[in-house]
Amino acid sequence: MASLVSQFDKLNSQYNLIADNQKILIAVSGGIDSLVLSRLLFELRLAEFKNLELLAAYVRQKSVALINEALKEIADLLADWQIPFSILDSELPESSQINCYACARERRKRLFQFAIMHDCNAIAFGHNLDDYLETGLMNLVFKGNLESLQPVQIQLGGRIRIVRPLLNWPKKHIRTSGRAYGIKSIAPVCPMASFNKRQDINAMITSFSRLNRDFRSNLRRAINHWNQLSI
């Protein structure tokens, strides 16, 4: 985990994601990113931020929800790391018409409600470097700009901060860190997974990388320049 912590320390020194005495809600999906993020924050609490308070929550949308056995597996894992875990039921109807946008909006709404109710001042998401690149390219294709995910976003007039501690870490390295700690992805199979735009953008990045092996680094540099970041 040392390299992951060092990557976080670099990002934190630039953007002040996390400080001692914060109360952070971790958005847990069951995927490898959010589980490695939980482990990272547990490690940071042991090593650097002794007064960091951590909570974790999973938003259960019936049509794509994890089964109870998987939720118990997550709860047991988080209990080992002394992170209280809550399951928040979605208020969306169970319907095949629910799309990615509606699902993501509902998930964020329920997380914000829970964070405010429990006096959290930050919500941590497990977005990684691959997400950063995909979001920038997606916005270029569909909106004509390179706007992407931010390491820190201030919401509700400063009441809540969104933080993304893994934003400078490639997905493949997160998987490696997960294997080192025996963490596996427990995410459900989303019925929209094969049809969303992000999958198409990921395929574009793979294709352009075959054309030019420096494409990912070039894209990263361009997105950083547009967003005035150093991810």
pLDDT at 98: 66
pLDDT given at position 189: 58
d(CA 49, CA 95): 43
3-state SS track over 54-65: EEEEEEECHHHC
Question: Measured between alpha carbons, how far is 156 from 163 in angstroms, rounded to an integer?
Answer: 14
Could you state, in order of their start, the residue ranges of all structural domains in the chain?
Answer: 2-227
Instruction: Give me the pLDDT at residue 3, please.
Output: 75
Residue closest to 1 by CA, chosen among 174, 127, 129, 128: 174
Q: How much is the pLDDT for 95?
A: 61
pLDDT of residue 219: 98
Pairing status of strand 122-124 against strand 85-89: unpaired
Count of C-beta atoms within a 10 Å radius of residue 66: 18
The partner residues of 162 in beta bridges, in order of sequence, read 123, 153
Q: What is the pTM of this model?
A: 0.93
* Of the candidates 126, 115, 106, the residue with the CA atom closest to the CA atom of residue 55: 115
Name which of 64, 37, 26 is nearest 187 in CA terms: 64
pLDDT of residue 91: 77
Q: Which fold has domain 2-227?
A: Rossmann fold (3.40.50)
CB 83 within 8 A of CB 46: no
- pLDDT (0 to 100) of residue 102: 79
Which helix (H) or strand (E) segment is 199 a member of? Answer: helix 197-211
pLDDT for the residue 185: 85
DSSP E strands in the chain: the ranges are: 23-27, 53-60, 85-89, 122-124, 152-155, 160-163
Question: What 3-state DSSP class applies to 173?
Answer: helix
Predicted pLDDT of residue 67: 87
DSSP annotation of 9 reads H
Q: What is the mean pLDDT of each run of 10 residues along the chain (231 residues)?
A: 80 94 95 96 93 96 85 96 96 68 87 97 97 98 98 94 97 94 78 74 96 98 98 95
Cα Rg of the chain (Å, integer) = 17
